[in-house]
């Protein structure tokens, strides 16, 4: 069964330019799909639409987005709220900015849990601490009692991932979750997301401009350019037998960059 | 924190010295003469000899610095001097008029908060809906109307035409309604707009999108996250308004003959009642320094970013 299905989705900003043009693809249960493309290709817009939180001015001008079998647009506000956090969760690029700077991590974490589960504050606190520990965050008590601005970028990112994974959603949306992190933390975060899929069967849609991350994580790869879906296929198809010229170009860039770094 | 407060109170002393000195100099520089005004206000035309004698008695012939020094010395001994207009001590005058101003200020502040917050919140939450347009339209008038005009308008409608209130305000609930309305209508209007703007700015913050993505109910986002954060800039404005109100709204107190400190100081300035003006200036300086201190403390309590950064220093 598909967790997420995009049918002929177009998105416009302020009635001017089309940021996403007639995109269709599906994400089956437990599958990892990477959306790659350069900045401005509409990939972030696409997953913001998938959770129903388009940036201001953005509207879905055609097509529909199905979560499970339900059309997001047809959901009531309360249904949508239940889906968010519980059914699908989102990790934003520089996720620390998506936490309230004036509330402690534990407050926001426990609040999130208690909005979806009937648990006491204490149970919520313990569950959150446990989840942070599985993400290998050192000194979880300190992290829990810190304000977001007291944590490093990598720590905040992992807190956000922990919060997103806590509800064991069917679908995890990740918008460049690793691009703000240094390389060692990047590898950890990628591994943790893959572990989540192993343990809970969560499907993941990850937006990245990093072909390396995409080829390491994804089962399927979607290639976007100028709002259009240029190519969609399994990792093997896209990486070893690309059809579209743009995909070929993208792939040519990756090894050359690595080659250059190796040479230094 | 205690050290911080002590430091600020020490600053108060410096501020008081500076402010009283400056006012002293400025009042001395005004063209008319306190001795003459004393008699004029009593309806007398004093002779030159009498004026000279009075000047000597009031110490107006000494150099300004000596006059200031004498006044300061007396203040340090707890003597604010004697009002030349009312013929009683400044202290008695102030303590008689202050409660009236405090009452007007307190009631007005409560009215402002009670009305402006719900209106501002409603306006922000219903952005670009009918309720928002109505609030913005009406508050535009509230902000634009000069308060003396508003006072006269309200007086004309409710006191003269409808006869619901007396033109001269009395110290009673009924007597307070018009002055409070005149004071608060512009403030409610401006605060409703400020609160709306602050809320909308916060609502655009990424953490709101984050909270929505985590499935936090909208009501909780507004009350638990957005409103507490949006209140911070409002606190500063409220502090200034409190200072303004406690200084006595001179125009409104005068128009409604409200026997408060604002009314008193207008009269004191008219007759060059230097000791009374100085007493008022001390009060204002204390009010503003204290209000600023309270705002700063409130900021520290409300904003962990300021609180924790200061602690590290």
Q: What is the pLDDT of residues B212-256, one digit of tens each?
A: 999 999 999 999 999 999 988 898 888 888 888 887 788 888 888
User: Taking a contact as any Cβ pair under 8 Å apart, which residues of chain A between 192 and 231 contact chain B?
Assistant: none
Sheet holding A171-175, edge to edge: A70-71, A58-67, A2-13, A17-28, A228-234, A220-225, A32-36, A203-208, A171-175, A88-91
In chain A, the percentage of residues whose pLDDT exceeds 70 is 95
| Residue closest to B253 by CA, chosen among B186, B184, B167, B179 | B179
B235 in a domain, yes or no? yes
In chain B, the percentage of residues whose pLDDT exceeds 70 is 97
Interface contact flag, A89 B206, Cβ < 8 Å: no
Interface contact flag, A115 B214, Cβ < 8 Å: yes
DSSP B59: T
* CA–CA distance, A151 with B230 (Å, rounded to integer): 23
Band of residue A106 on the pLDDT scale cut at 50, 70, 90: very high
Test mutation, B127, B128, B203, B210, chain A, max A CBs within 10 A:
B210
Chain B residues touching residue A108 (CB < 8 angstroms): 211
What number of other Cβ atoms are within 10 A of residue B134's Cβ? 14
Chain B residues touching residue A92 (CB < 8 angstroms): 206, 209-210, 213
Say what the pLDDT of residue A259 is: 44
| Residue closest to B182 by CA, chosen among B119, B99, B255 | B255
pLDDT tens digit sequence for B255-310: 888 888 888 988 888 887 888 888 888 888 888 888 888 888 888 888 888 877 65
CATH number at residue B268: 1.10.3720.10
Band of residue B60 on the pLDDT scale cut at 50, 70, 90: confident
Instruction: Record the tokens describing residue B303, joined without a space.
Output: 């904003």
Say what the pLDDT of residue B109 is: 94
Say what the pLDDT of residue A255 is: 56
A163 Cβ under 8 Å from any chain B Cβ:
yes
Q: Maximum Cα–Cα distance for chain B, whole Å?
A: 85
Which candidate from B204, B215, B303 shows the least CB-CB separation from A84? B215
Q: What is the mean pLDDT of residues A41-51?
A: 90
pLDDT at residue A257 is higher than 70: no
- Are A89 and B213 in contact by the 8 Å Cβ rule? The answer is yes
pLDDT at residue B311 is higher than 60: no
pLDDT at residue A15 is higher than 80: no
Say what the pLDDT of residue A264 is: 33
B303 Cβ under 8 Å from any chain A Cβ:
yes
Residues 6+ apart with CB under 8 A from A65: A4, A5, A6, A7, A9, A49, A50, A71, A72, A73
- Counted domains in chain B: 1
- Are B203 and B226 in contact by the 8 Å Cβ rule? The answer is yes
B12 in a domain, yes or no? no
Interface contact flag, B212 A53, Cβ < 8 Å: yes
A76 Cβ under 8 Å from any chain B Cβ:
no
Which candidate from B204, B214, B302 shows the least CB-CB separation from A163? B214
B78 in a domain, yes or no? no
Q: Report the range of poorest mean pLDDT among A53-67, A183-197, A222-236.
A: A183-197
DSSP B89: B
User: Containing domain of residue B169, as a range?
Assistant: 97-272
Interface contact flag, B304 A77, Cβ < 8 Å: no
Q: Is B82 helix (H, G, I), strand (E, B) or coil?
A: strand
Alpha carbon B237 to its chain centroid, in Å, reads 11
Interface contact flag, B214 A84, Cβ < 8 Å: yes
B282 in a domain, yes or no? no
Per-residue three-class SS string for B260-294: CHHHHHHHHHHCCCHHHHHHHHHHHHHHHHHHHHH
ipTM value, please give it: 0.87
> What mean pLDDT, rounded, does chain B reach?
85
| Residue closest to A154 by CA, chosen among A187, A117, A201 | A187
List the domain boundaries for chain A: 2-96+170-263
* CA–CA distance, A182 with B15 (Å, rounded to integer): 51
CA atoms within 13 Å, Cβ hemisphere of A167: 29
Region at B163 (left for phi over 0; alpha for psi -120 to 50; beta for the rest): left
Say what the pLDDT of residue B310 is: 54
- Which of the given ranges, A246-250, B132-136, B141-145, B240-244, has the highest pLDDT on average? B132-136
A114 Cβ under 8 Å from any chain B Cβ:
no
- CATH 3.40.640.10, domain A2-96+170-263, yes or no: no
Residue of A nearest to B301 (CA): A102
User: Taking a contact as any Cβ pair under 8 Å apart, which residues of chain B between 190 and 219 contact chain A?
Assistant: 204, 206-207, 209-218
Instruction: Tell me the whole-structure pTM to 2 decimals.
Output: 0.78
Say what the pLDDT of residue A123 is: 92
**C-alpha torsion angle, residues B292, B298, B302, B304 (rounded to 10):** 70
B224 in a domain, yes or no? yes
pLDDT tens digit sequence for A123-160: 999 999 988 888 778 888 999 999 999 988 888 888 98
Which candidate from B213, B302, B305 shows the least CB-CB separation from A53? B213
- Are A196 and A165 in contact by the 8 Å Cβ rule? The answer is yes
Alpha carbon B261 to its chain centroid, in Å, reads 11
pLDDT at residue A261 is higher than 70: no
Interface contact flag, A56 B204, Cβ < 8 Å: yes
Q: Report the range of poorest mean pLDDT among A89-103, B28-42, B159-173.
A: B28-42
Per-residue three-class SS string for chain A: CEEEEEEEEEEEECCCEEEEEEEEEEEECCCEEEEECCCCCCHHHHHHHHCCCCCCCEEEEEEEEEECCEEHHHCCHHHHHHHHHHHEEEECCCHHHHCCCCCCHHHHHHHHHHCCCCCCHHHHHHHHHHHHHHCCCCCHHHHHCCCHHHCCHHHHHHHHHHHHHHCCCCEEEEECCCCCCCHHHHHHHHHHHHHHHHHHCCEEEEEECCHHHHHHHCCEEEEEECCEEEEEEEHHHHHHCCCCHHHHHHHHHHHHHHHHHHHC
Say what the pLDDT of residue B207 is: 93
Chain B residues touching residue A85 (CB < 8 angstroms): 213-216
Interface contact flag, B210 A116, Cβ < 8 Å: no
Residues 6+ apart with CB under 8 A from B54: B35, B38, B39, B46
* CA–CA distance, B218 with B224 (Å, rounded to integer): 10
B239 in a domain, yes or no? yes
Instruction: Record the tokens describing residue A154, joined without a space.
Output: 């990598």
Band of residue A110 on the pLDDT scale cut at 50, 70, 90: very high
B217 in a domain, yes or no? yes
Count Cβ–Cβ pairs < 8 Å, chain A vs chain B.
Answer: 74
Cα of A32 to nearest chain B Cα, Å: 20
B281 in a domain, yes or no? no
Test mutation, A57, A102, A110, A171, chain B, max B CBs within 10 A:
A102
């Amino acid at each position: 069964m598909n967790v997420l299905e995009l049918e002929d989705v177009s998105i416009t900003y302020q009635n001017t330019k089309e940021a996403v043009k007639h995109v269709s693809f599906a994400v089956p249960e437990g599958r990892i799909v990477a959306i790659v493309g350069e900045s401005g290709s509409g990939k972030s817009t696409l997953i913001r639409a998938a959770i129903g939180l388009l940036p201001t001015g953005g509207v879905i001008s055609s097509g529909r987005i199905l979560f499970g079998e339900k059309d997001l647009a047809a959901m009531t506000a309360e249904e949508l709220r239940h889906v968010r956090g519980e059914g699908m969760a989102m990790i934003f690029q520089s996720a620390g900015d998506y936490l309230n700077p004036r509330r402690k991590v534990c407050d926001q974490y426990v609040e999130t849990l208690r909005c979806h589960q009937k648990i006491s504050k204490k149970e919520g606190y313990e569950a959150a601490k446990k989840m942070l520990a599985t993400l290998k965050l050192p000194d979880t008590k300190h992290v829990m009692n810190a304000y977001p601005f007291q944590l490093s970028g990598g720590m905040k990112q992992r807190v956000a991932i922990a919060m997103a994974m806590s509800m064991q959603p069917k679908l995890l949306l990740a918008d460049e979750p690793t691009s703000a992190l240094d390389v060692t933390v990047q590898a950890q975060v990628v591994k943790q997301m893959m572990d989540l899929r192993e343990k809970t069967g969560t499907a993941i849609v990850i937006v990245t401009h990093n072909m390396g991350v995409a080829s390491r994580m994804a089962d399927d790869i979607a290639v976007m350019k100028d709002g259009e879906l240029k190519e969609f296929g399994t990792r093997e198809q896209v990486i070893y037998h690309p059809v579209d010229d743009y995909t070929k170009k993208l792939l040519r860039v990756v090894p050359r960059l690595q080659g250059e770094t190796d040479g230094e | 924190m205690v050290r911080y407060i002590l430091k600020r109170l020490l600053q108060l002393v410096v501020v008081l010295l500076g402010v009283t000195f400056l006012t002293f100099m400025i009042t001395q520089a005004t063209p008319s003469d306190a001795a003459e005004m004393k008699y004029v206000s009593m309806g007398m035309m004093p002779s030159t000899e009498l004026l000279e004698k009075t000047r000597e008695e009031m110490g107006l012939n000494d150099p300004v610095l000596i006059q200031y020094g004498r006044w300061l010395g007396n203040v340090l001994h707890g003597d604010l001097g004697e009002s030349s207009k009312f013929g009683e001590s400044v202290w008695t005058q102030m303590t008689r008029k202050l409660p009236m101003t405090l009452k007007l200020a307190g009631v007005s502040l409560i009215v402002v908060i009670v009305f402006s917050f719900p209106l501002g919140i409603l306006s922000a939450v219903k952005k670009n809906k009918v309720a928002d347009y109505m609030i913005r339209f009406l508050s535009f008038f509230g902000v634009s109307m000069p308060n003396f005009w508003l006072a006269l308008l309200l007086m004309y409608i409710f006191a003269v035409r409808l006869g619901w209130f007396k033109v001269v305000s009395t110290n009673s609930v009924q007597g307070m309604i018009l002055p409070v309305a005149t004071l608060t209508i512009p403030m409610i209007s401006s605060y409703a707009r400020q609160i709306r703007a602050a809320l909308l700015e916060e609502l655009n913050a990424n953490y709101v999108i984050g909270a929505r993505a985590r499935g936090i109910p909208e009501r909780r986002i507004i009350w638990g996250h957005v409103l507490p954060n949006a209140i911070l800039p409002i606190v500063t404005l409220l502090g200034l308004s409190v200072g303004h109100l406690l200084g006595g709204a001179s125009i409104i107190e005068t128009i409604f003959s409200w026997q408060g400190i604002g009314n008193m100081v207008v009269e004191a300035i008219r007759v060059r009642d230097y000791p009374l003006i100085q007493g008022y200036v001390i009060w204002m300086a204390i009010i503003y320094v204290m209000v600023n201190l309270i705002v700063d403390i409130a900021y520290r309590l409300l904003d962990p970013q300021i609180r924790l950064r200061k602690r590290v220093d």
